[in-house]
Structure 1
């Protein structure tokens, strides 16, 4: 490991002619939101003016000498450094005293210093360099933002940050502004850690991350794959843009999930360590996927697959099963208890494209749901999904997977579970949705938002109710929580209607369209609701669910 320098320094020194900074292409764009900027300002402004105020740690890679100073790539801390530069610019343009104004501008823009061999240079090089120079780095720039058209979300975030700080400074007196400038310059401190080698800087990055600071795993993975150690400058710019486009298209949360799904597809085992360590040791370390271009192209490929299968649901366009497929995916993505089934689905498409894909997703859904109903632990469910991944890897034909042992489950025990009381089970609502799916014509795509479970035979029966003439106490206890007695309402149910007589309940819930669900609407076809009706329904439901 190369020499590591670490020091606690003031903002005055951090933004002096000893330090110049650049944000590498592999870093994510400026993404601090208004609330982040407000929090930074409030924390600084309300901190004790007689004591040092700690602004965090930054990690740097030394790039080159600039006169008596040095230029550093920011490995961690670019969001804070960029925001501090914006804050200093807003203070510069709000303060009227020339000495304070010049002091702040020197922290943003370095004038030529012939004696020390330092050229005229911006203190911070960002991706949006022309935009940042015009509205932040040049004097009076923050006063030019009114009515400008931003070209991307990074510019929007920068303008929002300027507006936040300008609003905060608007009601301050010149004395208060000068006091704040002094406090930031003299008593706000940063700890910087610097080394010459990227690998060492990255190791420091991960160490800080392990100690609990809020660094995103995907940023570290990005740094591993888009680094000057394995790419030239042209490729760094190209693949940084690809990475950022994937994240923008999917959103951060879904992008992180996709990274996790790929880990599962490649390793085919339950995660035992931090995802970064598993990528380093089990994927890159074993050459399952090569770092750099190969990994990012691989990621891009799976992003396309994910969109086709689960977002656009476009794989069976024009097929007889097109709407049926979409409706099945909708209930699976919205109502299954986890997404453990997604990696096998993505991997299947990667291997076999649309070959028997509807048969596969039907079999996969049945296996996953059966495990869930049978009380298989979440850990064992993951193991079972990984077994399917291994079967996909070993199979040369799609049919081998669908008919294999990895898709089988205990159908006798499952039938017993389905024949029991399901109302209080976690899978109750899903099963009722699955029945809606099985009994629908699939002429339109259907997504479900507000749904509730309703008993036809009420949970409690009053002594004067006509239900008493139809159901003995033993019959009532036996049937009330069975699946044949439960339906879904497509709106919030009216609890006052729960104990209605059957005819009144039909009028309240169905003739007035409180439920537009196909299976629920079929209740209208029943003239009465008896133990025999429930028995026949139960047989029909079990046949639907088990075949």
Structure 2
């Protein structure tokens, strides 16, 4: 049985003098920006001036099974690296001022030591390959001419700070006080685990904000630490996956949705622990998980990109549906979409995607997509798809039925719905236009692309209308309630919409009659427009909506 984790207090610089530490090769490199470094230096200066201890959070270390003489930094890399660079800058500034003896004492105590086995100097803090060469060059006294290197930037910021504090030899004691303060008074809560998996759990428990590591970092470190003989393979696959995402939180979102598509809903907060339990330990299980994750990447990317070549394998057009997911933020259905794409043939899967988009629109109008209920329902449906229990649209509908309003409720929700953003209105009206043409047996292929800049949203009754434009105060108040609702919107080509926004309805009809959108041309055929006519239009659009996004 592994030794239990050890907890206690220590001081930041004392960690460097008392231990040999290393940043694992698979952990991200130094990432503090200049403002982080200045904040750190200013805080230390304030604490020294007040002769006060300064608490610098938690440091989590793990025993290194590969190098028993060192401990791995799981949490605290940024602080420890910045501290070591600051101490190196203090050493160099002391040398500049001719104080070589204290400079050498600092160098030997905090930065380097002599290893009897290797019969050579070794660095007390060993960074990973990304930062190693710059850091060791600084330790050797040869600062690289790499202005964009984060390690070099940190050193330059520290040296500028020290030049201000000790501009001449008379103030060299200011430099020594920095190191003394770091060694005696800058405190940390220290946790030392017997292995990496335990260390990551400690980190997540103690540091909810993930100041030094994200959930993605935690998972990566866990996978790499368990992959052993498959490390190169797993590292290559992980790099390919991570490269698809600009932000760590987007990568985490993909990982969460992929897991939820197979095993049910999991929150971001619990994701790491759940995955650790689900994946288990051992190189083969890690290899299989990362391969599975990579296998879902193409599907996930295609769901985010309507024009992806992925959709060239089917004649079913999903572009409008995928744009709807994006514009409405229909994220709760993502696990179900992934499950369908990963479990079904592409054509029935594409048809199911369109159906899920329609159900999501219905649920959105009815106000059923808020909270966590929607995601739980969609994740339950995803489980049925993944397990093979749901192989048809009707079987999926059975799993999500409580979320989806039937026709009567949906129609009522459309009529009474309030303000809609213009981006969402463009999608909604385009689908209603398409349904309107289908009812009349007309072709919709020649319509302008609703999602492009050439199509705009026009307010039928000008948004700037005042009470003088209405027959009574009640009519004006009714207008105010529906001014930005679907019934007061229409699609119009941008070339026809110039300077129409504030004009009375009668001055807009000639432009409406030139539109390629049939619903807009019908508006142009009207002799006049009133609130009662607008309410009648709401009912007509609701009737179309029931058919445009059918329940079955």
Q: TM tier, shorter chain?
A: 0.7 to 0.9
Query: Any idea what the Cα deviations from partners look like across 1:250-303, whole Å, max 9, x if unmatched?
Result: 12111111122123212224659823333345x346x9x974222222222223
In structure 2, distance between residues paired with 1:38 and 1:394: 54
Query: Any idea what the Cα deviations from partners look like across 1:338-366, whole Å, max 9, x if unmatched?
Result: 41011111111111252233322210011
Kept in 2: contact 1:37–1:161 (CA 8 A): yes
Kept in 2: contact 1:33–1:157 (CA 8 A): yes
Instruction: Tell me if 1:255 matches 2:251.
Output: yes
Which residue matches 1:225?
223
In structure 1, distance between residues paired with 2:262 and 2:182: 48
Instruction: Tell me if 1:422 matches 2:417.
Output: yes
Which residue matches 1:153?
none
**1:235-246 to 2 correspondences below 5 Å:** 235-246=230-241
In structure 2, distance between residues paired with 1:65 and 1:146: 32
When residues 389 and 200 of structure 1 are mapped into structure 2, their CA distance, relative to the original with a 3 A threshold, is closer
Kept in 1: contact 2:31–2:78 (CA 8 A): yes
In structure 2, distance between residues paired with 1:348 and 1:397: 10
In structure 1, distance between residues paired with 2:287 and 2:392: 34
Which residue matches 1:344?
336
Kept in 2: contact 1:423–1:481 (CA 8 A): yes
Instruction: Tell me if 1:331 matches 2:336.
Output: no
Query: Any idea what the Cα deviations from partners look like across 1:450-491, whole Å, max 9, x if unmatched?
Result: 98884526686544x4x549x978996998676332347999
Which segment drifts farther, 197-206 or 527-536?
Answer: 527-536
Which segment drifts farther, 433-442 or 93-102?
Answer: 433-442
Which residue matches 2:126?
125
Number of residue pairs the alignment of both structures matches: 514
When residues 480 and 254 of structure 1 are mapped into structure 2, their CA distance, relative to the original with a 3 A threshold, is closer
Which residue matches 1:446?
451
In structure 2, distance between residues paired with 1:255 and 1:319: 26
Instruction: Tell me if 1:79 matches 2:78.
Output: yes
In structure 2, distance between residues paired with 1:162 and 1:347: 49
Which segment drifts farther, 56-65 or 38-47?
Answer: 56-65
Instruction: Tell me if 1:139 matches 2:148.
Output: no
Instruction: Tell me if 1:276 matches 2:268.
Output: no
User: How far apart are 1:99 and its partner, in Å?
Assistant: 2.9
In structure 2, distance between residues paired with 1:23 and 1:45: 27
When residues 130 and 205 of structure 1 are mapped into structure 2, their CA distance, relative to the original with a 3 A threshold, is closer
When residues 503 and 164 of structure 1 are mapped into structure 2, their CA distance, relative to the original with a 3 A threshold, is farther
Instruction: Tell me if 1:33 matches 2:52.
Output: no
Q: Equivalent residue of 2:29, what SS?
A: coil
Which residue matches 2:364?
372
Which segment drifts farther, 526-535 or 382-391?
Answer: 526-535
Instruction: Tell me if 1:502 matches 2:505.
Output: yes
Q: Equivalent residue of 1:58, what SS?
A: strand
When residues 178 and 373 of structure 1 are mapped into structure 2, their CA distance, relative to the original with a 3 A threshold, is same
Kept in 1: contact 2:458–2:489 (CA 8 A): yes
When residues 140 and 407 of structure 1 are mapped into structure 2, their CA distance, relative to the original with a 3 A threshold, is same
Kept in 2: contact 1:436–1:517 (CA 8 A): no
Which segment drifts farther, 348-357 or 125-134?
Answer: 125-134
Instruction: Tell me if 1:530 matches 2:524.
Output: no
Match for residue 297 of structure 1 among 286, 291, 302: 291
In structure 1, distance between residues paired with 2:326 and 2:5: 48
Which residue matches 2:437?
none
Q: Equivalent residue of 2:21, what SS?
A: strand
When residues 497 and 314 of structure 1 are mapped into structure 2, their CA distance, relative to the original with a 3 A threshold, is closer
In structure 2, distance between residues paired with 1:519 and 1:127: 63
Instruction: Tell me if 1:358 matches 2:350.
Output: yes
Query: Any idea what the Cα deviations from partners look like across 1:126-185, whole Å, max 9, x if unmatched?
Result: 2226523454332132xx3246xx7xxxxx433443343344344332424444344334
Which residue matches 1:9?
10
In structure 2, distance between residues paired with 1:168 and 1:518: 65
When residues 475 and 275 of structure 1 are mapped into structure 2, their CA distance, relative to the original with a 3 A threshold, is closer
When residues 384 and 220 of structure 1 are mapped into structure 2, their CA distance, relative to the original with a 3 A threshold, is same
Kept in 2: contact 1:59–1:75 (CA 8 A): yes
Q: Equivalent residue of 2:346, what SS?
A: coil
Which residue matches 1:193?
191
When residues 479 and 60 of structure 1 are mapped into structure 2, their CA distance, relative to the original with a 3 A threshold, is closer
Q: What value does the CA root-mean-square deviation take over the aligned residues?
A: 4.5
Kept in 2: contact 1:32–1:157 (CA 8 A): yes
Instruction: Tell me if 1:486 matches 2:486.
Output: no
Q: Equivalent residue of 1:378, what SS?
A: coil
Which residue matches 2:461?
456
Q: Equivalent residue of 1:226, what SS?
A: helix
In structure 2, distance between residues paired with 1:14 and 1:476: 69
User: How far apart are 1:307 and its partner, in Å?
Assistant: 1.5
Kept in 2: contact 1:485–1:534 (CA 8 A): yes
TM-score, normalised with respect to structure 2: 0.76
In structure 2, distance between residues paired with 1:196 and 1:476: 68
Which segment drifts farther, 120-129 or 172-181?
Answer: 172-181
User: How far apart are 1:429 and its partner, in Å?
Assistant: 6.2
Q: Equivalent residue of 2:57, what SS?
A: strand
In structure 1, distance between residues paired with 2:4 and 2:506: 83
In structure 2, distance between residues paired with 1:270 and 1:24: 28
When residues 170 and 459 of structure 1 are mapped into structure 2, their CA distance, relative to the original with a 3 A threshold, is same
Q: Equivalent residue of 1:414, what SS?
A: helix
Kept in 2: contact 1:25–1:240 (CA 8 A): no
Query: Any idea what the Cα deviations from partners look like across 1:300-347, whole Å, max 9, x if unmatched?
Result: 22233212221474145557968x6334323321323x4101111111
Instruction: Tell me if 1:101 matches 2:103.
Output: yes
Q: Equivalent residue of 2:64, what SS?
A: strand
